[in-house]
Structure 1
Amino acid sequence: MSFTTYNQTVTSPQIMDWSLVKHLKKGKYSDVYLVKNAMTGQHQTMKAVPKGKRSDFDKSFYHETSALSSLQDIGGVVNLFYCENRLATHNFYIMEYLDANLDDLRMKNFPMTFRPPTILQLLYEMVNITEAIHARGIFHQDMKLSNFMIKFTPRHSQLKLVDFGMAATYDETTHLPSKVFFLNKPFSSPWVSKECAFQPSEEIVTIGMVAVHMALGIVPWYSPDPMRMLYYKTMFVEDPESFLKPYNTHVDAVVKNFVQTPYGELVDYNAKRQILADAYFKMTACFISSNIRAYTIGNDIRLD
């Protein structure tokens, strides 16, 4: 690989061994591009983070590349292929190309929402992914529908977690008050929103809140006023059934179990999986599977 063009910008048609195909999206800290690997011909994803623009941009690059480097053998995490910090204007990294995120699928199929069996299956995979990254001492800290993506294959559709720009290690989060401002994030738990130290339990609470977004297509506790949103969020976690009763989601009991996980409690991931498996069997008379494609039936939002 050549490293002779450090003065290239991210908009150059060719960056090292990758040619730009198109711009995919703009995020808070980065731009995401579809690129083609000149050596393999494969399409991949490039995330470009402006250099030296703001300190949190540099931190985002460090957090994401450090976390992904530690999680490369976990199937439910996006694969990192290469990272580079020697270009003049941007840091960038190359990841596997994934087909769609859950929020894009939701919006594309609006006003449809995910059917209860699919919600349970997706939650099952989210718990698997969360357990795997927690076992490595890493917390994602920004789980939401747009950060869960689908990789399509002929026989199997796999859920993958992306965007580790806010990721942190256990030591960075659990022994000190939160250094990341979570108050304005709709899916952060009430405790984390109050700047309590991040705990494994709070990622489980977040998964329960994400389930509500899948079931309803809305976030019932959302408010543009962060303090009001914290108030609504706290009310929701204390009594989720009162929020969900008008909607008849069929996953109310699962949501309640997840969002009422006690702060700081040691998470029993097997127990969470069993709750999901039991609910799925009761709903479908089938056993839950790791192939999420199996549940795209009827008028469901398709995951293939």
Structure 2
Amino acid sequence: MIGKVISHFKILEKLGEGGMGVVYKAHDTKLDRTVALKFLPSHITANETDKARFLQEAKAAAALNHSNVCTIHEIREHENQQFIVMEYVEGVTLSEKIKSGPLELKTVIDYAMQIGEGLKAAHAKGIVHRDIKSSNIMVTEANQIKVMDFGLAKLRGSTKLTKTTSTIGTLAYMSPEHLQNKDIDARTDIFSYGVVLYEMLTGELPFKGDYDSALMYSIVNDDPEPVSKFRSDLSSEFMHIMNRVLEKDPEDRYQYVKD
């Protein structure tokens, strides 16, 4: 693909690959700007119903205009494969930042506020991300947060987890209700946001398991190790916030990010 021109985009380099597609850095020859192209797996739009659903979700995400959300410019198709043209974000993922250990409290607060602002903007438009995790969050050199992959967000409505959508979320970050095939809404993002917050503070994930079913059991049934076990610089108010965002029952969580 490198060097290939698709429409008016020249592919420059491969940026990454995951369950939801392959991402390339590209040059937009019409507007003379650098963009990222995400080519989606064919099963995402295997039939006209799936395709229409994807386009609806992508259209809603493209309407998001927020400094903490990666901007979607357009949706295109090449050789029957859909791809998303989006803002190119130069930086590292939050998961890469955390690899070297827990972050300083002031950094955690800064990043948490920015992630929260991005989620608040999405939820205000009825968009539930469903896949919030540290590897889906970019940090620029200027420490600006960009929440990625809102083009694959799940709009409120047909929100039940199915075999075809179960791979979308990464297990360790998924809410109990998501894992149990229950209706999900913005509160599932709040739980995943809590997992990311815990990870930033401790350098570890709150729920663990040697295999998928054990991890799923832990998320649904176990309480995580208190963050206070890992650090002593947190106020009681901060601890209360941590406990509440990770409540098993969505009714017991904060109902909105703005809370």
Q: Classify the TM-score, shorter chain.
A: 0.7 to 0.9
C-alpha contact (below 8 Å) 1:18/1:37 kept by paired residues: yes
Q: Could you state the TM-score of these two structures normalised by the residue count of structure 1?
A: 0.71
- What per-residue deviation string (whole Å, max 9, x for no partner) do you get for residues 191-220 of structure 1? 221111102222111111111111222224
1:165-215: CA deviations, max 9, x gaps? 642111222xxx434437861111112211111022221111111111112
* Structure-2 change in CA distance of 1:170 and 1:64 (3 Å): closer
Distance 1:53 1:76, change over 3 A: closer
In the alignment, which residue of structure 1 is the partner of 2:70?
Answer: 78
Partner of 2:185: 199
Equivalent pairs: percent with the same residue? 19
Q: What are the within-5 Å matches in structure 2 for residues 129-278 of structure 1? A: 129-152=118-141, 157-164=143-150, 166-173=152-159, 177-179=160-162, 180-181=165-166, 185-236=171-222, 239-240=223-224, 242-248=225-231, 250=234, 252-260=239-247, 262-264=249-251, 267-271=255-259
Distance 1:221 1:24 in 2: 29
- Label 1:53 to 1:201 Cα distance change in 2 as closer, same or farther (>3 A): closer
The aligned amino acid for 1:195 is: N
Q: Structure 1 residue aligned with 2:58, among 39, 58, 65?
A: 65
Confirm or deny: 8 A CA contact 2:13 2:24 kept in the other structure: yes
Preserved CA contact (<8 Å) 2:175 2:188:
yes
Residues 176 and 219 of structure 2 are in contact (CA less than 8 Å); yes or no, is this contact kept in structure 1?
Answer: yes
Determine if contact 1:199/1:263 at 8 Å carries over to the other structure.
Answer: no
Q: Secondary structure at the match of 1:92?
A: strand
**Larger Rg over CA atoms:** 1
Looking at structure 2, the residues matched to 33 and 254 of structure 1 have their Cα atoms a distance apart, in angstroms, of 38
Pairwise CA distance, 1:245: 4.1
Which residue, 88, 97, 104 being the options, matches 1:115? 104
One-letter code of the match for 1:207? Y
How many residues align? The count is: 248
User: Is 1:45 aligned to 2:33, yes or no?
Assistant: no
Matched, 1:30 2:26: no
Amino acid at match of 1:68: A
Question: What is the Cα deviation at residue 49 of structure 1?
Answer: 2.0
User: What RMSD in Å do the two structures reach over aligned CA positions?
Assistant: 2.9
Shift of the 189–53 alpha-carbon distance from structure 1 to 2, 3 Å rule, reads: closer
In the alignment, structure 1 segments of 5+ residues that lack a partner are 1-9, 272-304
Give the 3-state SS of the residue equivalent to 2:157 in structure 1.
helix
Alpha-carbon contact 1:61-1:91 (below 8 Å) kept? no
Distance 1:62 1:136 in 2: 16
**1:47 is aligned with what amino acid?**
K
Alpha carbons of structure 1 residues 91 and 105: separation in structure 2 relative to 1, 3 Å:
same
SS at match of 1:45: strand
- Give 1:117 deviation, angstroms: 1.7
